[in-house]
């Protein structure tokens, strides 16, 4: 039997196995597990709870910071402010008090910056782990029904991208492969690449876009990068999409790192960027308002009616199929000896 690729499991296994084993049916669950959707919606009285969970497995530096922000991002893509966090820290067996202090203090600062309370979880030393794993569960609260989902894109919606491709992947590799990358990056470039971690939050991006109006769907492209995130939005909405590669910004540091490791920046984990499907009449206003908040934003494409048609126009003007990552390209670099 073929082994699974590293990272997220293939969507067909999600649908054929995971989604068929979901326990009891509860009337409070308005939105349960679905491919391409970042979280669940649970209605309690006149309130909707937005709940999402994500692990941090491929990074060591600033792992606590990432755990808070990546989970907060998933709640924010519903247009809802993240409020609470549960966390599960799985630590290598030979870990010490210092590691617990470092991760906990990172989580504390990140949560305070976002106005989130860490309300519970679990922490243990786990046999056979080689590096720490942090799993988070974030919760936001909103009026009943007052949210968007990643599945809401409509035909002719404009596709907006905030910031740049490969943000998280750039930061992870700059820290974890620093010695190698000194060969191709000067000290300033390496410092800049490490600082990409500071761009990880999309809470401000998402709330700014939603307040402008006209937002039908949002999604943060994590594993699988920009290309994977676009496919997930299109899958969830059962639509096609046309994307202009020329409009997708790739920073110089990301480009150099991807060239060195032979990675596609569009398939590199991109936490920190946000994909927004917006009514064409609102798209330019959303971009303008994001830019007023000093958030880089660009219209990079449009959703279309045919779900079989997912196209990428490259920088030479040639059209090809939008690549669908089998596994995030970060793993190609991390597994390289």
Same domain, 172 and 307: yes
Same domain, 189 and 221: yes
Same domain, 243 and 303: yes
Closest CA to 158 of 19, 283, 5, 294: 283
List the strands of the sheet with 274-278, edge to edge. 215-219, 274-278, 158-162, 297-304, 240-244, 310-313, 319-321
Interatomic CA distance for residues 213 and 9, integer angstroms: 34
Q: pTM of the prediction?
A: 0.91
Which domain-ending residue is among 143, 177, 192? 143
Structural domain includes residue 306:
yes
Structural domain includes residue 121:
yes
Structural domain includes residue 215:
yes
Which two tokens mark 276? Answer: 């927004």
Bridge partners of 138, per DSSP, are: 52, 85
What's the confidence (pLDDT) of residue 9? 85
Tell me the torsion sign for CA atoms 255, 150, 11, 323: negative
pLDDT in tens, 252-301: 999 999 999 999 999 999 999 999 999 999 999 999 999 999 999 999 99
What's the confidence (pLDDT) of residue 337? 60
Structural domain includes residue 287:
yes
Q: Tell me the CA distances in angstroms from 280 to 64, 157, 243, 272, one per residue in order.
A: 38, 6, 15, 24
Token pair 């449009």 is at which residue? Answer: 302
Tell me the torsion sign for CA atoms 126, 127, 132, 138: negative
Tell me the torsion sign for CA atoms 317, 318, 321, 325: negative
Same domain, 187 and 299: yes
Closest CA to 95 of 82, 85, 104, 86: 104
Which domain-ending residue is among 117, 143, 169? 143
Same domain, 218 and 83: no
Token pair 């497995």 is at which residue? Answer: 57
Q: What DSSP character marks residue 31? A: E
Beta strands in the chain (DSSP E): 29-31, 40-44, 47-56, 82-92, 117-126, 133-143, 158-162, 215-219, 240-244, 274-278, 297-304, 310-313, 319-321
Same domain, 223 and 290: yes
Same domain, 113 and 40: yes
Structural domain includes residue 193:
yes
Structural domain includes residue 246:
yes
Same domain, 120 and 172: no
User: For residue 35, what are the domain limits?
Assistant: 11-143
Q: Mark the ranges of the chain whose per-residue pLDDT is less than 70.
A: 58, 337
Structural domain includes residue 218:
yes
Same domain, 163 and 133: no
Same domain, 115 and 204: no
Same domain, 286 and 309: yes
Which domain-ending residue is among 84, 118, 143? 143
For the chain, how many structural domains are there in total? 2
CATH of the domain at 260: 3.90.650.10
Same domain, 138 and 34: yes
Structural domain includes residue 216:
yes
CATH of the domain at 67: 3.30.1330.10
């Amino acid at each position: 039997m073929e082994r699974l690729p590293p990272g997220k499991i293939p969507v067909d296994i999600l649908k054929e196995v995971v989604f068929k084993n979901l326990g009891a049916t509860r009337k409070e669950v308005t939105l349960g597990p679905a491919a391409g959707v970042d979280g669940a919606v649970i209605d309690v009285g006149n309130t909707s709870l937005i709940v999402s969970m994500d692990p941090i497995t491929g990074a060591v530096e600033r792992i606590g910071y990432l755990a808070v922000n990546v989970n907060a991002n998933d709640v924010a893509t519903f247009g809802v402010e993240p409020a609470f966090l549960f966390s599960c820290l799985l630590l290598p067996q030979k870990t010490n008090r210092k590691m617990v202090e470092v991760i906990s203090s990172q989580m504390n600062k990140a949560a305070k910056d976002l106005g989130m309370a860490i309300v519970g979880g679990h922490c243990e030393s786990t046999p056979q782990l080689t590096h720490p794993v942090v799993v988070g569960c974030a919760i936001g609260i909103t009026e009943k029904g007052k949210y968007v989902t990643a599945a809401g894109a409509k035909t002719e919606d404009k596709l907006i991208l905030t910031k740049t491709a490969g943000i998280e992947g750039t930061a992870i590799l700059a820290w974890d492969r620093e010695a190698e990358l000194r060969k191709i990056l000067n000290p300033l470039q390496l410092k800049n690449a490490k600082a990409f971690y500071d761009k990880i939050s999309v809470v401000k991006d998402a709330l700014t876009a939603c307040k402008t109006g006209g937002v039908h769907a949002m999604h943060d492209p994590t594993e699988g990068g920009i290309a994977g995130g676009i496919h997930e939005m299109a899958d969830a909405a059962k639509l096609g999409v046309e994307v202009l590669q020329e409009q997708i910004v790739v920073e110089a540091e990301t480009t150099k790192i991807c060239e060195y490791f032979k990675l596609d920046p569009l398939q590199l984990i991109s936490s920190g960027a946000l994909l927004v499907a917006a009514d064409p009449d609102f798209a330019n206003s959303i971009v303008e308002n994001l830019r007023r908040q000093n958030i880089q934003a660009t219209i990079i494409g449009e959703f279309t009616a045919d779900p079989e048609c997912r196209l990428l126009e490259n920088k030479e003007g040639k059209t090809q199929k939008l690549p669908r990552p089998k596994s995030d390209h970060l793993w190609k670099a991390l597994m390289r000896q």
